[in-house]
Chain A
Amino acid sequence: MVKEVKTLKSFSQSAEKFEGSHLLCPGCGHGIIVREVLNAVDGPIVLGNSTGCLEVCSAVYPHTSWDVPWIHIGFENGSTAISGVESMYKALERKGKYKGQRPKFVAFGGDGASYDIGFQFISGCLERGHDMTYICLDNENYANTGGQRSGSTPMGASTSTTPAGKVSFGKKERKKDLPLIMAAHGIPYTAQIAPNKWKDMNKKIKTALDTEGPCFINALSPCPTEWKYHSSLAIEMTDLAVDCLIFPLFEIFHGQELKITYRPRNVLPVRDYLGVQKRFAHLFKKENEHIIEALQKDVDARWEYLQRREEAKV
C-alpha cells in the first residue's frame, strides 16, 4: 500500500525505517531520497543495496540504520539480489508458506553500480519482468572510493581519475543516457527525479511502487564531497540542475510514451550550474570555454529531443 502525501509537513515527517544513525555526509542527496521512498510506503517493503556510499554508511556491523529487511551482496548485484527475494516471495506465496501482504521490492545503487558495473544485472532484471523498482542514486561519480569518473560523470568534470590538468579539461566523454536505455527495455515505468521537486518525486516513487513489473528511477543525488559545494546547498544544486535542464524531469510509460513533468519558467544557462561547483571551476578558464559551449549544445539538443518525443507520443 502506498501512502498519500499531501503537505510538505507530512512529507518531512519521515518514517523511522531509515534512522539518523547513518554516516552519510551532510548535504548528500542519498538520505533524502531513501527516506522519501520509505515514507511513501505503509505496507511491507524489502530493500536491496549495491556497494556504495549508501551501503557503507548505513550498515556497519554491529549497527544498522535499517528498520526494514535489507540486503547487500556486492557492487554490481543489488538488483539481482532483490530479484531473488521477489522470486522467493512468489514461490513461498504459491506454496502457501507466505501469508502476509505483498511486499514492495526496491533496489538502490549508485551511478557506479547502475551506469557501469551493475548495468548488465539491472538489464537482466528488467528483461525478466520482476515486480521491483530499481532506483539509481546518481551523484555522477564513484564517491565511495574517492571521486573517480563514472559512466554518469558529465563531460568536463574534474575527477580523481580524470583530473583537469595542463593538457586535460577533465572527463572527455559525455554522460551515458541511462534512463532512456532502461526505458528501451519496454518496462512499464521509467522516471527521473530530483529531491528539490518533492511533490514530483513523491508522485513518481508512488507510481513506480504501485506499478506491477519492473520500474526504473534515476534520482539526482548531489554530492558535496566530490562536486565540491557547501553542504548546506544540496537542494540549491538540484534546483540549478533542473532549471538549467542538465537533469530534466520526465517519466516514460511502457518504454514509449514520454511525459515531461517539469518545465522551468526561466531556463537558466548551464554556466549557472557549473559555476557553483568546484569540479567544473577549470572550465571557466579561457582555453576551456568551448567545453561549456559543448555542454550547453548537448543540453539543448537533449531537451529538444525529449520535447519532440513527448509531442510525438511514441
Chain B
Amino acid sequence: MASSYHLNGVEAWDGCTASAHALRQAQVDVVAAYPITPSTPIIQNYGSFKDNGYIDGEFVLVESEHAAMSACVGAAAAGGRVSTATSSQGFALMVEVLYQASGMRLPIVLNVANRALASPLNIHCDHSDMYLGRDSGWISLCTCNPQEVYDFTLMAFKLAEHTGVRVPVMVHQDGFLSSHTVQNVRPLADHVAYKFVGDYVGVHPMLDFDKPVSYGAQAEEEWHFEHKAKLHHAIMESSAVLEEIFNDFAKLTGRQYNILETFNMEDAEVAIFALGTTWESAIVAAKKAREKGIKAGVVTTHLLRPFPFVALGEVFKKTKAVAIMDKSSPSGAMGALFNEVAASLYQVQGSRHPVLSNYIYGLGGRDLTQTDLDRIFEDLSQDAQKGALTHPTQQFIGLNGPELSYF
C-alpha cells in the first residue's frame, strides 16, 4: 500500500510537478515512460514518488517513446489505469501507436508538454506536436497553467475511463511556459482526489482468463470503416461527459471550467482565439485595448478534440473580427487552428461570419510580446470598422528579418 503524501492547501508547483502529483493521486497502475524535454520532470518526479513509497503501481522505464506507448497499450488492454508523458520528437515517435491505442478504445492518459518539432532541433514550446496528433483518435485537452494541468489530468482519467467514452485522452501544457513555470496550485488531498477519479474496472481485460479476448485484430474493408465511425461518434459525444465532469469538479473545488473560456465576449467586437498560455497574455492585451476604446475579447478552448464547432459559432455571433493564433508552422496552408475555426464558423454562421485573420506566432519558443498583441487588436479594430480585411489574411508575428504575410 502506497504512503499518502502530505500536501499543503497551496503548493508552489510547475506544470510537470502538478502533472506528476495528479498521476500519483490517481494511483495509476502502470506508467511506462521515456524522458524527453520538457516533459522529463513529470517522469522524474514520478520516479521519486515511486522510490519513496508513494506509488505502488509499476513504473516501466522503456527504451523509446514508441515502446512507452506500446507498453501502455499492452498494460491498458490487460485492464488497469495507465499513463505516460512526452513532448515533440518523442510524441512524433509515438504517433503510430496513438492510432492503435484509440482504435482499441483503451483509456490511456498522455501528458504532453508541447514543444517544436525538428528540424532545426529546438526544445522550446510551440504546438506542432499537438497538431501532429490531433487526428489520431484521442480526446485532446488544452491547459494554460499548472493549476489547470493538475485539474485536467485528474479529470482526464475520469473522462477516458467513462464507460460511455472509452477513448484515450491527451492533456496538453505549453512546454517551459507552463511545464517549468512555478505557480501557486491548490491540490486536493490524496483521498479526495482519488475518490473524484474513482476506481477503474477494466472493460474486456486480457487478464480475465474466463473470457479470452483478441485485441488489435485486422479489419479490412467490411469492418474498418465501422470501427473508425464508432470511434468518431464516441469522441463527438464525449464533450457532454466532460461538461458533467466539469460540474462535479466545480462542486468539489469551486473551480468551474467550461469547454470554451471567454473573456469580455458579451459585447466584444473583436477577439483573439488562442490555445494554451497565450490565453492569459491575450487577456492582459484585451484589457489594455479596452482602455483605448477597442471592444476586445479573448476566447480559448480546453477541448481541441472533439472540436467545439457549435459553441464557437455562438460565441462569435456578434463579433466583427477574429484573429486566430497558430503556434505551429502551416507549411503551405492556413494555420491548423485557423482552418478549424473557419470551417466551424462557415458551417454554423453561413456567410455572415466575422472577418477572420490568421497569425502565426511563437514558433520554437519565440516570445509573443504584449506589443505584438496590441498590434493584433489594432489590426482587428480596423477590420471591424471596415467590415473587411485591412491587411493580409495570414501574417507571421515576431519574425526576425523581412515580414512574411500571405493572401
Contact = CB atoms under 8 A, between A and B. Distances in A.
A25 interface: no
Given A61-B223, A81-B71, A69 B58 contact: no
A91 B56 CA distance: 7
Interface in B329-384: none
B25 interface: no
A165 interface: no
Interface in A49-75: 55-56, 59-62, 64, 66-74
B206 A69 contact: yes
Interface string A73-108: 110110011111101111110110110100100000
A73 B73 contact: yes
B97 A60 contact: no
Interface stretch (A117-125, A194-202, A264-272): A117-125
B100 interface: yes
Contact of B218 (A55, A71, A91, A103): A55
B30 A73 contact: no
A70 B58 CA distance: 21
B96 interface: yes
A128 interface: yes
Interface residues of A, number: 45
Interface residues of B, number: 43
B50 to A, nearest CB: 11
Contacts, number: 156
Contact of A88 (B66, B207, B217): B207
B75 interface: yes
Given A83-B74, A88-B80, A70 B100 contact: no
A4 interface: no
B61 interface: yes
B32 to A, nearest CB: 6
B77 interface: yes
Given A72-B217, A85-B78, 16 more contacts: A48-B74, A59-B216, A66-B214, A69-B212, A69-B213, A73-B73, A77-B66, A77-B67, A77-B97, A82-B74, A88-B80, A91-B80, A92-B78, A100-B207, A124-B67, A128-B60
- 9 A-B pairs with least C-beta separation: A84-B74, A124-B63, A88-B78, A81-B74, A84-B71, A77-B70, A72-B216, A84-B75, A61-B219
Interface of B: 29-30, 32, 56-58, 60-64, 66-67, 70-80, 82, 96-97, 100, 206-209, 212-220, 223, 227
Interface of A: 44, 46, 48, 55-56, 59-62, 64, 66-74, 76-77, 80-85, 87-92, 94-95, 97-98, 100, 103, 120-121, 123-124, 127-128
